[in-house]
């Protein structure tokens, strides 16, 4: 199916799905209010067919609210958490608008019917639930069809460095994104690494390559490039009439949301307003205490079982205590379930590699399921870590990274976390420290309680969707 036809099909079926879910929610709300005596006040409802005009008003209002929230602009890799919050807002606004529309259109007409407050509440709740379920189902079907080639965009990567490799791994590892990789082009003066896609030419010939390979989208993977170099590459892409996306540099990540203020009449741009301070820090700590306490209570049987299995599998303690750097670069003892042999670091510290012979049998399972990190809930409860934050590193690595990675030590302005923004975006294990640092700095500058909840939900989803390879 052609790209334009596929996009129209996806939007049309999503619109139909939302309409069906909103209508079903209203219909179920009618029967719940009719059959369930809650609240107990007497109510007389007309026949179901007489509520059809009100149901149509509800459906139209919800669809318009969803459109107003740009939920029919199909993102390639949407955040389901963000979409859920937008769905709540759209369902709320749509339900209220539907009530108002029904009142003004049908008041004092033969179409007027009683619309009880309890029925409105049921319609609102069911609309949120059913529209969310419908959209999740539609998203999975859409990803499956895109993986089979429906509406795929041909994408070209500019750059052959670490960032290009990371982007290619992300695209090739998720065919549901709807991309077909044409290849990558090298740029003079920039390093090259082994890529999981062919290098088809040089950036000097970008316009010709876009036309020859019928490229739909170009991703410029050169965060270290100067503004002038980026502008030159964009100019070449425009000749080929392709969509252009640019992987941001460190400043662009940090300066995401900017505000304009003044200093005695002189305009100033605020690009760094530390989010985690004052009452926000207290709220985050309260969430950590509640989350760690609940987690330890409910997961204690699992943790006890894991400890026993570790002791039976290999000699040594069940827990592994390792010094890591936390808030203000102060060391603390981080707890983990032991997943390696007791003598794993007899020759000194080293990164874990795929198929690492030091990992025990039970340890490989713990790592795949991320269960080895559970004891860090104790660190969170003690205040040494947070549920969400930059992942802590060992002092020996911090000493190396602070010399080579710009602003690396800024990661230590906040507590280390069990999970973080970099990790839920695929940057974990043996991945680029520079790129992880960028994500960590963005998190620190843009913290919010909603962002923490989003990261925690994505972490839980990723455990079941794509467990660690080692």
In this prediction, residue 228 carries a pLDDT of 85
Written as six digits, the tokens of 3 are 């790209």
Written as six digits, the tokens of 334 are 């981080």
In this prediction, residue 73 carries a pLDDT of 85
Q: Strand pairing of 153-158 and 179-186?
A: parallel
Domains, the chain? 3-147 (no CATH), 153-247 (3.40.50.20), 279-465 (no CATH)
> What pTM does this model have?
0.64
First-last CA distance in the chain: 38
Residues 6+ apart with CB under 8 A from 382: none
In this prediction, residue 352 carries a pLDDT of 66
In this prediction, residue 90 carries a pLDDT of 92
Q: How far apart are CA 254 and CA 438, in angstroms?
A: 8
Under 8 Å between Cβ of 185 and 233: no
In this prediction, residue 10 carries a pLDDT of 92
Q: How far apart are CA 411 and CA 386, in angstroms?
A: 13
User: What is the 3-state secondary structure of 365-399?
Assistant: HHHHHCHHHCCHHHHHHCCCCEEECCCCCCHHHHH
Residue 193 per-residue DSSP state: -
> For residue 443, how many other CB atoms are within 10 A of its CB?
24
Q: Which helix (H) or strand (E) holds 280?
A: helix 279-313
Block mean pLDDT (10 aa), the chain, length 470? 80 95 94 79 78 92 93 78 87 92 84 85 95 93 86 89 87 84 90 90 88 88 84 75 76 50 48 60 90 93 92 87 88 90 68 70 83 92 92 86 79 88 77 78 82 87 57
- Quick one: CA dihedral 362, 363, 364, 365, positive or negative? positive
* CA-to-CA dists, residue 381 to 287, 372, 393, 423, 454, angstroms: 10, 17, 20, 21, 21
Written as six digits, the tokens of 243 are 């969509």
């Amino acid at each position: 199916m052609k790209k334009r036809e596929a996009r129209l099909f996806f939007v049309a079926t999503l619109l139909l799905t939302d309409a069906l879910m909103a209508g079903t929610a209203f219909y179920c709300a009618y029967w719940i209010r009719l059959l369930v005596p809650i609240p107990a006040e007497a109510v007389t409802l007309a026949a179901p067919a007489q509520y059809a005009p009100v149901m149509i008003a509800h459906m139209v209002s919800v669809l318009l609210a969803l459109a107003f929230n740009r939920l029919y602009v199909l993102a390639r890799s949407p955040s389901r958490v963000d979409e859920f919050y937008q769905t709540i807002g759209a369902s709320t606004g749509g339900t209220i608008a539907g009530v108002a529309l029904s009142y003004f259109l049908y008041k004092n007409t033969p179409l007027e019917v009683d619309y009880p407050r309890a029925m409105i509440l049921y319609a609102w709740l069911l609309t949120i639930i059913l529209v969310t379920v419908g959209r999740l189902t539609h998203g999975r079907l859409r990803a499956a069809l895109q993986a089979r080639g429906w509406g795929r965009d041909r994408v070209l990567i500019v750059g052959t460095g670490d960032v290009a490799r990371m982007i290619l791994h992300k695209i090739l590892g998720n065919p549901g994104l709807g991309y077909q990789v044409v290849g990558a082009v090298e740029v003079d003066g920039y390093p090259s690494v082994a890529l999981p896609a062919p290098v088809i030419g040089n950036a000097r010939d970008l316009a010709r390559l876009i036309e020859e390979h019928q490229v739909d989208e170009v991703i410029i993977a050169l965060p270290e490039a100067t503004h002038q170099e980026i502008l030159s590459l964009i100019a070449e892409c425009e000749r080929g009439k392709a969509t252009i996306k640019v992987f941001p540099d460190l400043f662009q990540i940090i300066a995401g949301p900017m505000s304009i203020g003044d200093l005695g009449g002189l305009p100033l741009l605020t690009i760094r307003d530390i989010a985690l301070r004052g009452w926000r820090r207290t709220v985050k700590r309260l969430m950590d205490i509640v989350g760690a306490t609940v987690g330890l209570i409910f997961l204690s049987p699992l943790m006890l079982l894991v400890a026993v299995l570790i002791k039976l599998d290999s000699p040594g303690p069940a827990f592994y205590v390792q010094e890591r750097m936390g808030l203000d670069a102060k060391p603390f003892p981080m707890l983990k379930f032991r997943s390696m042999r007791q003598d794993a670091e007899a020759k000194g510290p080293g990164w874990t590699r795929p198929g690492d012979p030091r990992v025990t049998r039970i340890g490989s399972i713990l790592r795949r399921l991320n269960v080895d990190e559970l004891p860090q809930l104790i660190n969170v409860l003690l205040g040494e870590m947070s549920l969400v934050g930059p992942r802590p590193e060992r002092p020996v690595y911090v000493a190396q990274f602070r010399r080579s990675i710009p602003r690396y030590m800024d990661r230590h302005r906040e507590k280390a976390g069990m999970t973080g923004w970099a990790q839920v975006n695929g940057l974990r294990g043996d991945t680029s420290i520079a790129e992880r640092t960028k994500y960590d700095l963005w998190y620190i500058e843009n913290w919010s309680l909603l962002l923490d909840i989003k990261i925690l939900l994505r972490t839980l989803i990723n455990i079941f969707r794509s467990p660690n390879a080692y």
